[in-house]
Structure 1
Amino acid sequence: MEYVIAIILILSFIACIIYILRGSNLMITMLMMATLWTILAIVGKYACGAGFAEENANVIGMSINDILTNVYTTGPVGWGVVLVNVMFGAFFGRVLLDTGIVSTLIRKTVELGGDKPVVTNILLCIVSAACFTTMTGPGAVISIGVIVLPILLTLGIKKNVAVWSYVASVAAGFLLNPVIFAQYVAYFANAEGGTEYTYQDNLPWAAVACGIMMGVILVYSSVLTIRGGKTAAWAAPKSVPESGHVPGIALLCPVVPILLVIIFKVNVILAMIVTSILALLLCGKGKSGGELSRSISKAFADGVVDSAAIMGFFLTVPMFCNAASLCAPYFKVLLAPVVPKNTLVIAAALAVLAPLGMNRGPLTLMGAGVVTVGILNTIGMPTTLMFPFLTGTTIIMNCATDLTQSWNSWAVGYTKCETKDFLKLSIPVGWVMTAMVMIVSWVMRG
């Protein structure tokens, strides 16, 4: 019977991918899959063979109430730290926007680059990536995008190049973002070494991967800008509107949380709270206790609104993750003999299949990749390797390439860029970057 259950699990996995590719609601999809796989785990408890039950007594021996509690209570409650990180990350992002720090940073960058498209594009890519080493959420990406994109377009940079260089730079910053790390690492809680894998453990790989992405982005966008000539594509002024006085030292605030986490080992939430208050005080948003309180409350409320949809998704993902862990023995029966255990082979396969990280497919953690984690768990792949593999495909092929990512589709629509022009640029380059990161991941962790 365990083979029958395993086949049903595989078929439901395929159906889940198809359903997601058709544009289904991710939160509801994860809830449905969690429920189906929980039911199958309960059925297996009574229908599997004696030998299988004895070998997997830790799962088969659970009572029905324990199974339901594990999936629908322990899972979401255990992800409380992820939701808290998301909320405080969004809060910090709103502070940087409301104080004018980001717009001032961009304005000074443009002044430094002058009328040289290549130089200005390089500087804006670096600044955008630096900002998103701490900022998160569609609201923050869009708020900065409405400043950066018109500047690039008025310099004559082609629409698809401007859009891709901006969203790819945002994604590169995500590799070093402690809030994004907290979101993604939670998927691996049931993997070998999952609960012990920290931001500091991930930092060497993340720094190298970020360097690879930024190197490709800066070189390729510069080449395209030089070859493409100038285009009259945008009528907006390239000056950035004034946003009140922002002292020079406040411009360091976007990277302060990262420095506190890396150098002083400060908790990321505390680092963001301290830096947020510092930013408000430096920019004159806390001249009195009442004004400071109102500024903090407004930024927190706006930040939570920005991240509300993703928080709903993150409440159902742990349900599915825990259900997948209950079904791991059944996957192992069917897949253990055929799934390659050689990590180099897996790295090569991920490099070749990188586009499956698009359209919420099986290689993005923001889609069906949640299921892939459960399957890779069955062969005992450690988090030290599995996290770089799947985070790399997620950030490059989903965050920087895919139009199902909200801010990518917004940027294409906002600039009136042709969808095919964006994808003809983003997919091949994303594929190459993913292959490079997979190779580096294997060299560093394989």
Structure 2
Amino acid sequence: MGLVILLVMAAGVAAMLTRRLPTAFALVLLAVAIALVSGAPLTGKESVLQTVLQDGAPALAATMIAVLLGSWLGKLLDETGIAGTLVRKIIEFGGDRPTAVALGVLAVSALVGTVTGSAPAAMLAGIIGIPAMVAVGIPRTTAAGTILMGIAVGIPFELPVWQFFSTALELPVPTVRGFMIKLFPLALVAAVLFVLVESRRRGVEHAWAFRPATAKPASRRAKLGDAPWYALLTPVVPLVLALGLDVPIIPSLLAGVLYALVTTTRPGGMNKRLLRTLYGAFEVAAPPIALFVAIGILLAAVKLPGAVEALQPLVEAVSPQNAVLFVLVFTLLVPLCLYRGPLNVFGLGAGIAGVLIAAGIYPATAVLGLATSYNQVFGVADPTSTQTVWSAQYAGVTPQQVMLRTLPYVWAVALGGFCVTAATYL
């Protein structure tokens, strides 16, 4: 039975890789197939309809709400001009010094990445940041990679990501936060090295030669002027509350939303802006929310007693227990989190993580280390991820070119994460 489940998983990966099915739909079908193969009944206790579909769909509800609030805050950063002001100030400070400009845009990308991930974060920092970097001589591929590496620096402090790993792996938020803090310096060092090394490559271009693949007209705020200086603190507000004052994630994000509204909006226009940005946030959040519904369903399926019993001996046989082998094996497997591969935590990787925990192969904290380390790679170098595609196309290069430039750096981050995991949890 275990081999049949593995074949079903392989078929699911093939469907996602070949884009025959959207990832969310493929994961749901995969979950139903795993449940049926493992002998789960259609109805009743530990069943397909009740346990997998009914209970699994809302399992990550807290993560979905956090994603929606993060998207809402991202829309506010865009509409109010906060993100654009941050980027423009950094560019003004950097002047015509390419490395200084790139490091400044990297810092803004990291700050925005703590609020909202994926394409929205790339757009907020990249719409102004990428042309500015190219204008002072940063190669196009490096400009796109700088945005992505900056977002990766922010990922360890992205509150919706904390909520996702906390719920999916059934770990307390402080435990997730603790490992993310350890991951942060690794991501920061890799990002700074990327800028210092890659910005020195040949291929200088100037503003007159820059033709982004998708241009965006200037926002209303950009025409009116910069956001107030105190409004620029908006991305920091949720972090201070969640990290410094131990406020729960959803209230922290709500506080950020309210702070952005109060510091940038006149009382008469607050209602309109509040509703307009909220409705826009639903559009941005819809794809990841659909994915989290599917991941919840998949996690419910792989945790069924029949699935755990079938998969445990197989997974145990190929999972290294020695700390050194643990690091070596999972470092070599890094490419499997690319192209929506089986170790992508926002795909089949979530199911594999569930199996590792449910079968008792590794403690949940070790699986957290694996998943978050792989996520640092996926968030930057995967040519199918939305932020990578947008950044590459806007810079006028291909996602594969960005992958080749960034992969060595984020691979090193993953290696560091595995070392920390092995030393701490094994």
Q: TM-score, normalised by structure 2?
A: 0.90
Unaligned runs of 5+ in 2: 212-217
Please state if 1:423 is matched with 2:418.
no
2-structure distance, mates of 1:435, 1:65 = 38
What's 2:387 paired with? 407
State which of 364, 369, 374 in structure 2 corresponds to 1:393.
Answer: 374
Per-residue deviation, 1:15: 1.9
Inter-partner Cα distance in structure 1 for 2:44 and 2:313? 22
1:383 to partner: Cα distance: 1.9
Q: Give aligned-pair identity as a percent.
A: 21
Corresponding residue SS for 2:261: helix
Q: Is the 8 A contact 1:90 1:137 kept in 2?
A: no
Residue 228 of structure 1 aligns with which residue? 202
For the residue of structure 1 that corresponds to 2:376, the secondary structure is helix
Whether 1:212 and 2:186 are equivalent positions in the alignment is yes
* Distance of aligned partners of 1:423 and 1:264 in 2 relative to their CA distance in 1, 3 Å threshold: closer
Identify which of 4, 12, 33 aligns with 1:16.
12
In structure 1, the partner of 2:322 is 342
Matched with 2:51 is 70
CA RMSD of aligned residues (A): 2.5
Paired residues for 1:287-436 under 5 Å: 287-288=267-268, 291-326=269-304, 327-377=307-357, 378-396=359-377, 398-436=378-416
Encode CA deviations 1:285-306: one digit per residue, 9 max, x unaligned: 1323xx2121111111101101
Name the CA shift for 1:383/1:242 in 2 (closer, same or farther; >3 Å): farther
1:104–1:243: 8 Å Cα contact kept in structure 2? Answer: no
Q: Partner amino acid for 2:22?
A: N
Number of equivalences: 415
Contact 2:84–2:124 (CA<8 Å) still a contact in 1?
no
Task: Using the TM superposition, give the Cα deviation of residue 116 of structure 1 relative to its aligned residue in structure 2, in angstroms.
Answer: 0.5
Q: What is the deviation of 1:99?
A: 1.1
**Partner residue of 1:55?**
none
Deviation of the 1:137 alpha carbon:
4.4
Residue aligning to 2:214: none
The 1-side partners of 2:226 and 2:13 are apart by: 50
Matched, 1:118 2:99: yes
Structure 1 residues 318 and 97: alpha-carbon distance in aligned structure 2, compared to 1, 3 A threshold: same
Tell me if structure 1 keeps the 8 A contact 2:382–2:388.
Answer: yes
Q: What secondary structure does 1:336 align onto?
A: helix
State the AA in 2 paired with 1:149.
Answer: I
Structure 1, unmatched stretches of 5+, are 47-61, 189-193
Deviations 1:291-343 (A, max 9, x none): 21211111111011011112112112111111101111111143334433334
12-21 vs 418-427, greater mean Cα deviation: 418-427
The reply on whether 1:32 has 2:32 as its aligned counterpart is no
Contact 1:121–1:152 at 8 Å: present in 2 too? yes
Q: 1-side partners of 2:102 and 2:280: how far apart?
A: 30
Pick which of 203-212 and 334-343 moved more. Answer: 334-343
Is the CA contact (8 Å cut-off) linking 1:324 and 1:371 kept in structure 2? yes
Counterpart check, 1:85 vs 2:66: yes
Cα distance, 1:281 vs. partner? 1.9
Contact 2:109/2:121 (8 A) holds in 1: no
Q: Kindly indicate whether the alpha-carbon contact (under 8 Å) linking 2:155 and 2:161 is maintained by their aligned counterparts in 1.
A: yes
Which has the larger Rg? Answer: 1
What letter matches 2:172 in structure 1?
Answer: Y
Distance 1:334 1:251 in 2: 52
Q: 1:197 — aligned with what? A: 172
Which stretch shows the higher mean deviation, 116-125 or 421-430?
A: 421-430
Deviates more, 1:379-388 or 1:228-237: 228-237
The answer for the alignment partner of 2:232 in structure 1 is 251
CA distance in 1, matches of 2:276, 2:48: 41
Q: Distance in 2 between matches of 1:11 and 1:175?
A: 34
CA contact (8 A) 1:104 1:242 kept: no
Alignment correspondent of 1:49: none
The structure 2 residue matched to 1:129, chosen from 86, 91, 110, is 110
Structure 1 counterpart of 2:28, one-letter code: L
> What CA deviation, in whole Å up to 9, does each residue of 1:230-279 have, x standing for no partner?
33475459x99455342212111111101011222222222222222222
